[in-house]
Amino acid sequence: MGASSEQSDIVSIYMGAEDVKIILFGATGMVGQGVLRECLRDPEVERVLVIGRSSIGIQDEMVREIVHRDFLDFSSIEDQLGGYDACFFCLGVSSVGMEEQAYTRVTYDFTMAAAQVLAKQNPGMTFIYVSGTGTDSSEQGRLMWARVKGKTENALFKLPLKAYMFRPGYIQPLGGIKSKTKLYGALYSVVGVFYPMLLAMFPKYVTTSEQVGRAMICVAKRGAAKRWLENDDINHCCDDGAA
């Protein structure tokens, strides 16, 4: 079962709006790149701890990096994960061509292994999980990826965290950010030309890497009125300080 209906109405306000300390997973992916870029541009983000299986290759005094290979076991670095206000979990993989077991390992198992350690080290921290439009909270639907994402969302709500689920639709990368997948990179280049038209025609289903990053930071600073943020919520998250 998903989180109770009352959870969607909870307003979780993070009072310390300045000097936000963030842990970021998935910084080498397209979404993660965009989120990191916005973190580095925000004067109220004090530092970012990037955790990944490979180095991001960025030298910045705001950024600390831990290269960690085993995303099912964070015990060896657990003592380095305390003292943070928020986690932006942008790690993900396309379900195309994947069996459910393999997709679940990356999508559910990796996420929960990290979240459980962070809940222990930083109880009550804001945890933002990048899910997607169409995620299945019932866990019973026909689409495999949607069921697994829904299972992950539901499990995160059970932890002692201020958990928020970001469900973006189409994300247009900005600021020179590129997808690691060549096919997707070519697609974004083509669609980018038509993005203004898409935004005009389908404003509730498209967003940008900048908007996603800014919305995450806004939620980390002051919470949001919803626990699930759909595409339109993300686009207007920073408007008047509320999602």
**Angle at which helices 30-41 and 209-222 cross, to 10°:** 60
Residue 165: DSSP 8-state: E
Residue 234: what pLDDT? Answer: 96
Spatial CA neighbour of 144 closest among 108, 171, 169, 198? 108
- Tell me what pLDDT residue 199 has: 64
Residue 226, CA atoms < 13 Å, CB-side half-sphere: 16
Q: What is the pLDDT of residue 238?
A: 84
Q: Exposure pattern of 178-193 as b/e (b: 16+ CB <10 Å)?
A: ebeeeeeeeebeeeee
Q: Quick check: 128 and 157 in contact, CB under 8 A?
A: no
Identity at 97, one-letter amino acid code: G
Q: Tell me, what's the pLDDT at 36?
A: 97
Tens of pLDDT, residue by residue, the chain (243 residues): 444 444 434 333 334 446 899 999 999 999 999 999 999 999 999 999 999 999 999 989 999 999 999 999 999 999 999 999 999 999 999 898 999 999 999 999 999 999 999 999 999 999 999 999 999 999 999 999 999 999 999 999 999 999 999 999 988 888 877 666 555 555 556 565 555 676 667 677 889 999 999 999 999 999 999 999 999 999 999 886 544
pLDDT score, position 103? 97
Q: What predicted TM-score, i.e. pTM, was given to this entire model?
A: 0.86
Q: Compute the Cα dihedral for 180, 173, 100, 77 and give only its sign.
A: positive
The predicted pLDDT at position 13 comes to: 39
Question: Contact, 126 vs 12, CB < 8 A?
Answer: yes
Closest CA to 40 of 67, 15, 22, 17: 22
